Amino acid sequence: MTKSGTFDPMTDEKKQLEIRGFLQLDAFLKKKYGTMPVFYEIDGPITGIELAKELGIKREDIEVIFVNGFVQEVNYTLNPGDRMAFLPPGCPGPYRIALGFYGKNQDNAANFKIQRKDSK
């Protein structure tokens, strides 16, 4: 089987991540893999930032990641069988606080004041 593709729970459950991308990453992943969610085979634990690199997702396109329904910082370690999602900057303000993004961003000043791409 290829590294990404249709999920087969009988054989793949223990080896795969269930990946989603939101905002612009929704179109990016759908275009690249033809489906949402993407089921992606990994050999063992991998951080969110490492996974993003493998998928061709830019660092500045991630504010936080979701792992099994919880908000985590981008270098959180993912394990086979996890459900995860990449969330770019763009979630409306009150929910960035209410959903706990701020607590996961303390060492990541860029995510508090992300500049427009054209002004960098």
CB 14, min distance to other proteins, A: 20
Residue linked to tokens 């394990």: 79
* First-to-last C-alpha distance (Å) of the chain: 41
> Quick check: 12 and 1 in contact, CB under 8 A?
yes
Site residues (vs other proteins, CB under 8 A): 20, 22-24, 26-27, 36, 66, 69, 71, 85, 87-100, 102-103, 106, 112-116, 119
Cβ distance to other proteins smaller for residue 81 or 100: 100
Torsions phi, psi for 70 (to 5 deg): -115, 145
Cβ distance to other proteins smaller for residue 7 or 22: 22
Cβ distance to other proteins smaller for residue 16 or 86: 86
CB 74, min distance to other proteins, A: 15
CB 13, min distance to other proteins, A: 17
Tell how strand 38-41 and strand 16-21 pair up: antiparallel
CB 85, min distance to other proteins, A: 5
Q: Which residues contact 14 (CB under 8 A, 6 or more apart)?
A: 80, 81
